[in-house]
Amino acid sequence: MGTFCHSYYALFYSIHIRRCRSFSGTWKSLSRFSNSPRKGVDCRTRLSGGAKSGLGSGGVITGEVMEHVTINGSEVVVGDPQSLQSKISSIRIAGPQKLQVIADFDATLTKYWIDGRRGQSSHGLLQQGNPEFDEKRQKLYEYYHPLEFDPTIPLDRKAVLMEEWWGKTHALLIEGGLTYDAIKTSVANANIAFREGVIELFEFLEGKDIPILVFSAGLADIIEEVFRQKLHRSFKNVRIVSNRMEFDKNGQLVAFRGKTIHVLNKNEHALDMAGPVHDRIDNTNGEIEDNSSVKKRTNVLLLGDHIGDLGMSDGLDYETRISLGFLNDNIENSLESYQKAFDVVYLNDASMRGVLKLTSQLCPD
């Protein structure tokens, strides 16, 4: 465990540990989340029966279940430090030419909270400019959204329902006369923002020629507009894999390109399903790798905010995957499942700077 601490935490960060007394098989509160716009919640770490109170080597709490540290003001949980260290070593040895980054968009690249209010999703921010059709889309959401999370519905049946929901929503956007001007206005008025450190992370990966695949079950044209308006620049290595629109010469939506991408097929299979138009934010900086070249990059750094986002790497026969989860809300009830599912969990709507530090270790100069 000391090797892990030295090579990941101690090498890059100034670590502050909130100490706790250890009791065999019990839970003890480590900290309160002062950055949450709501009332603070306890984050608890379970120490194993053999753990001793105090700090392990390298400045990390010693325990068999997880490591919980505060890094540059962000709460970080690592479920299996030894496994993570092994994965880091494997990706470093293989080199950046074998690495790709797969990222969810909403509440992963973007903030969950903005000035004390819940940030909008790329799909939720859209105002069609036609109240009748905005209301119809909302009613579809109210009907289908509970079905998306209903554990009693078999997966194959749920996939049919999601395809149905997306199809009806897309039809309403066409019938209601959505224009690209309405997309630009919606983004300009939206409560949406990228996490601090996203630009620096993308710049680092661009410099290493590492592709970033941004997967979304939403609308690529909206996500690309969010990039334009909020980041004010493009990246040659970024590709948005999502549902794509086709507009006529007057800027009115007339069709969707490619097969429908929804929450249950949002993975590397979708690379071959997505429409070919404006696959990147800007076409002036050179060509991103084609699908076959991307799939040859068999080491993956995956970023998501839901356990289901782990499925984004489905369709890729990867060798090593490091999964990073952003647990933004309901921390006390969800922490245990997240730390079991993800290699690293960032708590309380953390910045992207921790991811940048980890990435710089995977691809050192």
Joined tokens for residue 214: 């941004």
Apex 90 CA angle, 1 and 300, nearest 5: 110
314 is catalytic: no
Q: Is 106 a catalytic residue?
A: yes
Tokens 């490091």 identify what position?
Answer: 322
Rg of the chain on CA atoms, in Å: 21
**Which residues make beta-bridge pairs with 45?**
28
Pairwise CA distance, residues 144 & 148, whole Å: 6
* Catalytic-role residue among 106, 279, 309, 343: 106
Pick the closest to residue 305 from 216, 234, 221 (CA basis).
Answer: 216
The single-letter code of the amino acid at 247 is F
Query: CA-CA distance, 135 to 288, in Å (whole number)?
Result: 39
Considering the candidates 80, 104, 282, 305, report the single residue annotated as catalytic.
Answer: 104
Burial code (b: 16+ CB inside 10 Å, e: under 16) for 182-213 equals bbbebbeebebbbbebbbbbbeebbebebbbb
Report the catalytic residues: 104, 106
